[in-house]
Structure 1
Amino acid sequence: MKVNSVQGALLAALACVLVGASFTANSLLGAYPYAGGQALRYGIACLLLVPLAGRGAAATLRSLTRRQWGRLAALAAIGMVGFNLAILAAERTAEPAVPGVFVGCAPVVVAVLIPLTARRRPARPAVIGALLVAAGACAVQGWGRTDAAGIVWSVGALLGEVGFAVIAVPVLRPLGPRLLSATVCGIAAVEALIAGLVLDGAAVLRTPTGQETAALLWQAVVVTVIGFVCWYMGMQRIGAERATLFSGLIPVSAALTAPLVGTGTYGAAQAAGSLLVGAGVACGSGVLGKRRPTAAPAREDVPATR
């Protein structure tokens, strides 16, 4: 792999590890209004990201078309607010492992969907790697009790995870990772607040406890500001297909950090699943592929999407 691809892989991996750790933070926010908490999280993140957006950010935003603004609104609604609310709704009637298993299938969907929309055949290594990652994610999380509603909302969470990568592809180049992250966080904060007013009314926000404040700041600063920028920088370098492979690290990271707050254990099944995820990432990202001659640049190192 070229240096640019290695950097992209490391950035995508770091982003997904941070997101997985956020699941542990979520367990500390069970009593806080969910949509209101997401509005706070994204609002704080937006304020922190705006200074990092770079000079000319306002002019860039003014140059966006209505279609691009619509895509940004859809990215925030589907890939961020919708994803989070779908997870919450699924866990009302299903054990947390159920939506986790569905979300773990996102690499398979992206590995097939992105090439089809670009009118090309899915790459066999990417599909095989995605299947291994999905199997590993399922092994890490296991399965649990659910009903029809839990499955429907889990499918919604899967669509949200896929949308977070796929919908962003056309607007990543004109905005760049930092401005894209700042913009969608601002939009998501407004959308989450509106959803909270509909769902919770006047109780959408309240003063968080010290523990809740720490969890919200972790989600805003570490998971959102650092995680989102790293994710889109990684996707910019290696493409959505390969970047999404690293989402298999989300349940691995969650399983590793859960014992720290007493909300889970890490045993043989989690270890075996982690190895499968690692093998899938290595296979699909090209790490296990043969090195090509330097005179002929490897096409697999060119981002799969623009």
Structure 2
Amino acid sequence: MISSFGPSRAEHRRGALLAAVACCLVGASFTANSVLGDYPHAGGQALRYGLACLLLLPLLGRGALAPLRLLTARQWARLALLAAVGMVGFNLAVLAAERTAEPAVPGVLVGCAPVVVAVVVPALDGRRPARAVVYGALLVAAGAMAVQGWGRTDAAGLLWSAAALAGEVGFAVIAVPLVRPLGARLLSTAACALAAVEAALLGAVLDGRAWLRMPDPAEAAALLWQAVVVTVIGFVCWYAAVHRIGAERATLLSGLIPVCAALTAPLVATGSYGWAQAGGSLLVGAGVVLGVRARHRRPAASGAQETTGAPGGVPAPERAAARRPAG
């Protein structure tokens, strides 16, 4: 039974662990991105998400696609928007920002996502933001900035970095009403399928026949890492975490992305880990602990509810937002 004060401590721990795994995988993948600079961007995303979808399908089990037939047109539109904004759009915005800005600039703005989500999600849910979550998000954002620093940029770099922030927030917020009816695995599979189609269409429009080519060995390894590890494992862990602790708490763990990126950068001689990174990592850790352990009282109308099964084998979310109709 989940009380009106939120999920149990065990659910908090499992959800936080799943979100941490997902974000650490994303952070460690930044080293793989460095070898994809010359590969067609939209085509690479189409390959990544298409392969991830194919790998996820066998994990669904017999009859697992049935919930898709029950989705309304508005829910399908939300799913397509999730793929366009939170997946394809986010990645293209980061790549566009890095044309005129140093990578730290979009990294710092994306690091503010926990603050935005900590305010937006409760507002959509009809409740006040939990102070501990907001304070934790501010610590995470400050820690992320300390880890990454600030680089050179221009107006275009700032605008694209802001777009990347919107994509990161959208990845967490847009999916909330879809998590319960689909479950973590089916939601990840359907989103990857739509993202692959959207990326392929965008690549064909923008790059013509050059939208896709055979990757060289290094590019193939990077694309496989992104598809198999970051997308298949990372996405399922992420949405399972959203089931358990809600989007605003799960997004706090995104502060681990720059930390893991900073920790792995010295391994491939693309960066260093010094006192600033260590101090920022401590701030991120403090913010995560403060925000994830916070418990909030739900609105009186929602009452207590039991944890029920959901497609994908993940308990139903404790958040009222995940129970309301999509749109």
Q: Shorter-chain-normalised TM-score: which range?
A: over 0.9
In structure 2, the partner of 1:98 is 105
Aligned partners of 1:53 and 1:31: how far apart in 2?
Answer: 34
Aligned partners of 2:67 and 2:294: how far apart in 1?
Answer: 36
Aligned partners of 2:295 and 2:66: how far apart in 1?
Answer: 43
**Alignment partner for residue 63 of structure 2, among 49, 56, 62?**
56
Aligned partners of 1:39 and 1:156: how far apart in 2?
Answer: 20
Give the structure-2-normalised TM-score.
Answer: 0.88
Displacement of 1:124 in angstroms is: 0.3
4+ residue runs over 3 A deviation = 301-305
Aligned partners of 1:192 and 1:270: how far apart in 2?
Answer: 35
Contact 2:12–2:293 (CA under 8 A) maintained in structure 1: no
In structure 2, the partner of 1:109 is 116
Contact 1:239–1:305 (CA under 8 A) maintained in structure 2: no
Please list, as runs of the form range in 1=range in 2, the aligned pairs for 1:1-12 lying within 5 A after superposition.
2-12=9-19
**Alignment partner for residue 204 of structure 2, among 197, 203, 206?**
197
In structure 1, the partner of 2:96 is 89
Letter paired with 2:104: A
Please list, as runs of the form range in 1=range in 2, the aligned pairs for 1:176-191 lying within 5 A after superposition.
176-191=183-198
Q: Secondary structure at the match of 2:158?
A: helix
Decide which moves more: 167-176 or 197-206.
Answer: 197-206
Decide which moves more: 21-30 or 215-224.
Answer: 21-30
Q: Secondary structure at the match of 2:151?
A: coil
Aligned partners of 1:40 and 1:260: how far apart in 2?
Answer: 27
Aligned partners of 1:31 and 1:167: how far apart in 2?
Answer: 31
Contact 1:241–1:304 (CA under 8 A) maintained in structure 2: no
Q: Secondary structure at the match of 2:214?
A: coil
Displacement of 1:56 in angstroms is: 2.2
Contact 1:239–1:304 (CA under 8 A) maintained in structure 2: no
Decide which moves more: 142-151 or 195-204.
Answer: 195-204
Displacement of 1:175 in angstroms is: 0.3
In structure 1, the partner of 2:83 is 76
Q: CA 1:282–1:174 in 2, change beyond 3 Å: closer, same or farther?
A: same
Contact 1:45–1:185 (CA under 8 A) maintained in structure 2: yes
Displacement of 1:137 in angstroms is: 0.4
Letter paired with 1:66: A
Letter paired with 1:249: L
Q: Secondary structure at the match of 1:206?
A: coil
Contact 1:238–1:304 (CA under 8 A) maintained in structure 2: no
Aligned partners of 1:149 and 1:196: how far apart in 2?
Answer: 22
Displacement of 1:302 in angstroms is: 4.2
Q: CA 1:135–1:252 in 2, change beyond 3 Å: closer, same or farther?
A: same
Residue 230 (str. 1) matches residue 240 (str. 2)? no
Aligned partners of 1:304 and 1:255: how far apart in 2?
Answer: 36
Letter paired with 1:239: G
Displacement of 1:199 in angstroms is: 2.2
Letter paired with 1:266: Y
Please list, as runs of the form range in 1=range in 2, the aligned pairs for 1:16-27 lying within 5 A after superposition.
16-27=23-34
Structure 2 gap segments, 5+ residues each: 1-7, 297-303, 305-316, 323-327
Larger relative helix fraction: 1
Contact 2:52–2:228 (CA under 8 A) maintained in structure 1: yes
Please list, as runs of the form range in 1=range in 2, the aligned pairs for 1:209-248 lying within 5 A after superposition.
209-248=216-255
Displacement of 1:53 in angstroms is: 1.9
Q: Secondary structure at the match of 2:15?
A: helix
* CA deviation profile, 1:239-293 (whole Å, cap 9, x unmatched): 001000000000111111111222111111111110000000000011799xxxx
Q: Secondary structure at the match of 2:266?
A: helix
Q: Secondary structure at the match of 1:57?
A: coil
Structure 1 gap segments, 5+ residues each: 290-296
Q: CA 1:185–1:288 in 2, change beyond 3 Å: closer, same or farther?
A: closer
Aligned partners of 2:17 and 2:249: how far apart in 1?
Answer: 12
Displacement of 1:58 in angstroms is: 2.8
Q: Secondary structure at the match of 1:122?
A: coil
Decide which moves more: 230-239 or 197-206.
Answer: 197-206
> Sequence identity, in percent?
73
Give the structure-1-normalised TM-score.
Answer: 0.94
Aligned partners of 1:302 and 1:118: how far apart in 2?
Answer: 12
Letter paired with 2:138: L
